[in-house]
């Protein structure tokens, strides 16, 4: 059972603070819990990992399109501002992971940090749950794959480099925009796009293999930025790339559309019209094999552009799923 913390540790009390913009309208509420388990088994054919770990529930970054927002409804909270400002901290995450790694054979597979919310959101600066979990992975020589929008991952670059040497590690930075102003409109409290390119460089310089995720591609908004994102990511040291089409499950559709209409009103009609053409079965796109991809000639052009630019730049393309696994259609694993 999660309990609210009246005076949570302050993530802004550190040696260096990067100002991200205006303060949020809703105050941050932090809840601590002792989780019963920490590893989630994934059976979806659409993602390339079997195990994931989520030290936090909810995410301060507040990305309007975040597919994980509905998970907060399992806590009887909302998918909107509750998801962004009522954050649950799994304070025993590292201990649970150490216990699991000491008893199971999952070390044959990689562990994804994270499958649902960002493991390097601001509270990580003081709680350090992700770092403590990574230290256990190093102890047990467990391969890890990280995906984040948080520049805080730089703090752990030496640890990640050692993990790469002893077990294997790749850090993927999600950068769906090259335009900082546009990114701020849709991802209001994540690190700026330009800051994330710097993060790629610093990880590369530390010896950490890196990749870039164009996730999500929002047609009519950022698809024209694909060549520039890939070029800058390659210059920053990324070796691989992948892209995912925008998906809006459940209440995310309303949250995203409201944010888009408010922040970028001239783009709003075109984006929603183009997305509808690429997702004729609806924006939720829950069917295996279709959740990450679109349909129709416009999506084919986007995929071709992405492939051509990756080939020109020498970027390997990371696949989200194989055709064989799509045909298998197994059940989706639990999120927590």
pLDDT of residue 44 exceeding 80: no
Q: Which domains does the chain have, with CATH numbers?
A: 29-321 (3.20.20.70)
Q: Closest Cα partner for 40 from 24, 26, 51, 29?
A: 51
Confidence class of residue 293 from pLDDT cuts 50, 70 and 90? Answer: confident
Per-residue pLDDT, averaged over 241-254, amounts to: 94
Phi, psi of 273 (to 5 degrees): -65, -45
For residue 292, how far is the Cα from the chain centroid?
14
Q: Closest Cα partner for 122 from 200, 212, 14?
A: 14
Confidence class of residue 14 from pLDDT cuts 50, 70 and 90? Answer: very low
Q: Closest Cα partner for 169 from 139, 221, 210?
A: 210
Alpha carbons 112 and 235: distance in angstroms, whole number: 25
**Higher per-residue confidence, 323 vs 111:** 111
Confidence class of residue 323 from pLDDT cuts 50, 70 and 90? Answer: very low
Assign residue 5 a region: left if phi > 0, alpha if psi is -120 to 50, beta otherwise? Answer: beta
Given this model, what pLDDT does residue 276 score?
93
Q: Which residues contact 158 (CB under 8 A, 6 or more apart)?
A: 206
pLDDT of residue 322 exceeding 90: no
């Amino acid at each position: 059972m999660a309990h609210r913390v009246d005076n949570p540790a302050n993530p802004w009390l550190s040696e260096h603070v990067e100002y991200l913009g205006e303060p949020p309208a809703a105050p941050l509420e932090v809840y601590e819990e002792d989780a019963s388990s920490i590893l989630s088994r994934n059976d979806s054919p659409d993602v390339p990992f079997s195990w994931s770990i989520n030290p936090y529930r909810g995410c301060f970054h507040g990305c309007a399109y975040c597919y994980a927002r509905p998970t907060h409804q399992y806590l009887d909270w909302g998918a909107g501002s509750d998801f962004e400002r009522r954050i649950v901290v799994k304070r025993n995450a590292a201990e649970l992971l150490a216990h699991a790694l000491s008893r199971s054979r999952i070390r044959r597979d990689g562990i994804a940090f994270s499958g649902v919310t960002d493991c390097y959101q601001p509270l990580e600066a003081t709680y350090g749950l992700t770092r403590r979990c990574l230290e256990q992975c190093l102890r047990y020589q467990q391969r890890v794959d990280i995906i984040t929008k948080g520049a805080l991952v730089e703090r752990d670059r030496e640890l990640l480099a050692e993990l790469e040497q002893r077990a294997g590690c790749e850090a993927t930075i999600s950068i769906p925009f090259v335009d900082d102003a546009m990114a701020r409109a849709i991802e209001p409290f994540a690190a700026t796009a330009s800051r994330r390119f710097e993060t790629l460089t610093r990880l590369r310089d530390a010896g950490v293999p890196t990749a870039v995720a164009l996730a999500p591609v929002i047609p009519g908004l950022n698809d024209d930025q694909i060549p520039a994102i890939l070029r800058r990511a390659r210059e920053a040291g990324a070796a691989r790339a992948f892209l995912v089409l925008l998906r809006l499950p459940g209440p995310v559709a309303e949250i995203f559309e409201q944010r888009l209409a408010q922040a970028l009103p001239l783009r709003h009609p075109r984006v929603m019209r183009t997305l509808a053409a690429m997702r004729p079965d609806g924006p939720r796109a829950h069917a295996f094999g279709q959740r990450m991809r679109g349909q129709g000639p416009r999506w084919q052009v986007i995929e071709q552009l992405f492939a051509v630019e990756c080939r020109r730049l020498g970027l390997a393309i990371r696949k989200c799923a194989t055709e064989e696994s799509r045909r298998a259609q197994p059940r989706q694993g639990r999120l927590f």
